[in-house]
Amino acid sequence: MEKKTVWTKYNEKQLAELNTFSEEYRKFITECKTERECTDFIVEELENAGFTELQRAIKAGKKVKAGDKIYAVNKNKGILAFRIGKTPMEEGMNILGAHIDSPRLDVKQNPLYEDGGFAYLDTHYYGGIKKYQWVTIPLAIHGVVVKKDLTTTIIDLGEEENDPVFFISDLLIHLSAEQLEKKASKVIEGEALDIIIGSRPTLSTDAKDSALKAVSGARPTLTKSTKSSAAKNTKKNDEEDGNEKEAVKKSILALLKEYYDMEEEDFLSAELEIVPAGPARDCGFDRSMILGYGHDDRVCAYPSFRALVDAKTISRTACCILVDKEEIGSVGATGMQSLFFENTVAEVLALMGQTSELLLRRCLANSNMLSSDVSSAFDPTYAGSFDKKNVAYLGKGMVLNKFTGARGKSGSNDADAEYLGKLRAVFDKDDVSIQLAELGKVDLGGGGTIAYILAKYGMNVIDCGVAVLNMHAPAEVISKADLYETYRGYLSFVKNM
């Protein structure tokens, strides 16, 4: 079976829509690089679209009925959104489920140190990365610092044109004879991924002011503290001419105090994520692709929530799941394995006057789900790693993975042929182009998604999303046509399943 390009099938109106949607997505992934940022952005969009927050609805004693829109937030790192349909909940929902965490470097809890005249933040990577890809590129810091009095400061530094950025060093090629003999997995080791955040032992008023200007000019979210302690530290450093022990570290602490009103010990209750700095960009002379950080899995999360909001008519209840922690096994209170999803469905049913456990079980078992996650795209440079007949191609439509897993499908969900048959009919009706694919050649490796977790309820689940080139690299690539086709596919699923 030949897989056809989707680019040639669109009319002018569709091409205009494709461009608009791609641009909206590009802005979304430029702005939202962490699960918290995705959550904040989407909550705002849901509010604008008339969705009511679940706890508010419960407190107000709201009765939920067909046509209503409800959402719930899980610890600022995940969202569930529902549009209640006319069909009884007992008959199940149509669910789109994606994850909003991406591979990155997390700052450790005691991270700050000085060595050789540099101040560093020690990191521990999150998710599957090729460590050598993360050195010598501009990096940004995104996250929160929560102090003991529970005030939260948002840190978002390295994205604006005039922001400072951060980096991880690599050994110069001139001295790399030994390093280059190492295996690629050992060339850069996990403990070598510490980011350089400063090198100046003294801070004159001048330097401090210009640094502060660069930061506060770009970021409205900063909390500024009184200048006294920072000024005092700086003066002391000046007096000792930079030869004080750990003077660079102390200067950085003075700046952190000034910018964020934080002490060193506040790192203990901080979540700081190091991500590639800068915007996602159009890619290619023809602007057919988008190069950017974290397409996995925001390139499926975005069309999932948009399909839920944009679908004009639905009959079955539609649900969009956006979860955290997929990249490390869907664990913890914010991962798909937590009971948050099940509990929230029970709460929504209760607001509909339905509190029977059996009804909840029936609702879940009778649901259909697209596990909206990315798949690998064929890469001609590494052709030998793929089965050409059974891999996804950039620009050839929405990808369905009957199963994922590794080495004999271990750890995989497996979608029934019956479910696939039904989906083919639904997608055909709306002229959605699909390609069935496996990740790569048998026995080379593999991966998982949240699909198998939802499948435990007995519902129909299949992995379905956008093909990505250089998955999990600091800059991943997708085709705008696949993004648009996947959005069309999700809309079709929400309306017609």
Find, among 228, 227, 234, 272, the residue nearest to 251 by Cα: 234
Mark the segment that binds Mn ion (CB under 5 A) among 207-215, 370-378, 388-396, 450-458.
370-378
Window 315-354: contact mask with Mn ion (x via CB under 5 A)? ----------------------------------------
Q: Is 273 or 297 the residue whose CB approaches Mn ion more closely?
A: 297
Contact between 365 and 458 under an 8 Å Cβ cutoff? The reply is yes
Q: Which residue is nearest to Mn ion (CB)?
A: 297
Alpha carbon 140 to chain centroid distance?
15
Identify residues 415-474 at the interface with Mn ion (CB under 5 A). none
Bridge pairing between strands 52-53 and 69-73: parallel
To Mn ion, the closest distance from the beta carbon of 79 in angstroms equals: 17
To Mn ion, the closest distance from the beta carbon of 399 in angstroms equals: 12
Number of chain positions touching Mn ion (CB under 5 A): 3
Mark the segment that binds Mn ion (CB under 5 A) among 67-75, 257-265, 368-376, 481-489.
368-376
Q: Is 258 or 373 the residue whose CB approaches Mn ion more closely?
A: 373
To Mn ion, the closest distance from the beta carbon of 132 in angstroms equals: 18
Mark the segment that binds Mn ion (CB under 5 A) among 79-87, 138-146, 236-244, 373-381.
373-381
Sign, CA torsion 260/265/266/272: positive
Sign, CA torsion 380/384/385/390: positive
Q: Is 375 or 433 the residue whose CB approaches Mn ion more closely?
A: 375
Q: Is 271 or 297 the residue whose CB approaches Mn ion more closely?
A: 297
Identify residues 246-265 at the interface with Mn ion (CB under 5 A). none
Identify residues 65-124 at the interface with Mn ion (CB under 5 A). none
Contact between 209 and 243 under an 8 Å Cβ cutoff? The reply is no
Find, among 77, 131, 125, 129, the residue nearest to 100 by Cα: 77
Single-letter residue type at 112: L
Kindly state whether residue 35 participates in binding Mn ion, applying the rule CB under 5 A.
no
Instruction: Please count the other Cβ atoms lying within 10 Å of the Cβ belonging to residue 287.
Output: 12
Contact between 139 and 276 under an 8 Å Cβ cutoff? The reply is yes
Identify residues 288-307 at the interface with Mn ion (CB under 5 A). 296-297
Find, among 477, 296, 287, 293, the residue nearest to 394 by Cα: 477
Helix H segments across 261-339? 295-310
Phi and psi of 307, rounded to 5°? -65, -40
To Mn ion, the closest distance from the beta carbon of 376 in angstroms equals: 10
To Mn ion, the closest distance from the beta carbon of 165 in angstroms equals: 25
Q: Is 258 or 296 the residue whose CB approaches Mn ion more closely?
A: 296
Using the rule CB under 5 A, which residue among 156, 258, 271, 373 binds Mn ion? 373
> 480 to each of 44, 130, 170, 492, how far by Cα in Å?
25, 25, 34, 18
To Mn ion, the closest distance from the beta carbon of 460 in angstroms equals: 20
SS3 408: coil
Binding site for Mn ion (CB under 5 A): 296-297, 373
